[in-house]
Amino acid sequence: MASSILTETYTLANGVKIPKVGFGTWQIPQAQAEESVTNALELGYRHIDTALVYRNERGVGAAINNSGIPRDQIFVTTKLPAETKTYAGAKRDFETSLQNLGLDYVDLYLIHAPWPWAKRGGNYDEGNKEAWKAMEEIYQSGRAKAIGISNFGVPEMKNIFEGATVKPMVDQIRYHVGYTEDAITKFAQDNGLLVEAYSPLATGRLLQDKDLTDIAAHYNASIAQLGIKFCLQNGLLPLPKATHREHAKSNTQLDFTISDTDMAKLNSLNEE
């Protein structure tokens, strides 16, 4: 059943292993989340990405808890809302997520963004430091096996590094063919963080990109498969989302290698 990519892992800076392809759940409503995640688990996915703000943690958790798969074989990520920039708020929101999920620990807990979504780009250095202190304590309690950040750029990462006793292990950023955030990726990787690629299919837009049709056809692959493999070959961890079972299935069939020439071509594309 499971193609090998679903059981292959990266290793985080603290030694925790993380399956190389995750299943994204943004925009999967609560009512549909249990079915989608159950499908994904049946297909062999062992890494599920959710967030408190997705309002689907209960469905995600139900799928995990009803799967019959031992808990330690599923990697679960959830996220602290971007709006929560206090120590007490972070502690409170973590409890809510665990309760929603019906789990006693998560594998990875991320600060969803360095600024509230409505204040994108604003400076929340102090609030992020406060939230990070709570994240460190959660990590030290063993209830998050790893901690990290999402949507953090270089200055915001530097702010967290200052005075951190536990360095983030992951930065989850938007990353896909045509949008690769090279400076952030390099800085994060140079500092020992694993970079996760969210929206690896550009929330579906990549699939309409005619320029990619010929490259994908060369590997007998779909554009989705090409886009996911592209992230992996750049050393990132893709998090494709698919509510359709056939999509979720084909996104794991990645048994081809994009040539260096095609990788260079794909890396040079810029959607802006």
Ligand X SMILES: NC(=O)c1ccc[n+]([C@@H]2O[C@H](COP(=O)([O-])OP(=O)(O)OC[C@H]3O[C@@H](n4cnc5c(N)ncnc54)[C@H](OP(=O)(O)O)[C@@H]3O)[C@@H](O)[C@H]2O)c1
CB of 171 to ligand X, least distance (A): 10
- Nearest-5° angle of CA 28, CA 30, CA 33? 55
CB of 68 to ligand X, least distance (A): 24
Active site residues: 54
Q: Which residues pair with 195 in a beta bridge?
A: 171
CB of 241 to ligand X, least distance (A): 3
Q: Which residues pair with 197 in a beta bridge?
A: 173, 238
CB of 196 to ligand X, least distance (A): 8
Applying CB under 6 A, does 203 fall inside the site for ligand X? Answer: yes
Residues whose CB is less than 8 angstroms from the CB of residue 35 and which lie 6 or more positions away in sequence, other chains included: 59, 63
How many residues in the chain? 272
Applying CB under 6 A, does 19 fall inside the site for ligand X? Answer: no
User: To which H or E segment does residue 11 belong?
Assistant: strand 9-11
| Interacting positions 165-194 with ligand X (CB under 6 A) | 172
**Judged by CB, which is closer to ligand X: 145, or 241?**
241
Applying CB under 6 A, does 100 fall inside the site for ligand X? Answer: no
Distances in whole angstroms, Cα of residue 263 to Cα of each of 141, 178, 239, 251? 42, 12, 19, 19
CA-closest candidate to residue 166, choices 111, 115, 98: 111
**Judged by CB, which is closer to ligand X: 1, or 163?**
1
| Interacting positions 227-266 with ligand X (CB under 6 A) | 239-244, 247, 250-251
Q: Which residues bind ligand X (CB under 6 A)?
A: 24-27, 49, 112, 150-151, 172, 198-204, 207, 222, 224, 239-244, 247, 250-251
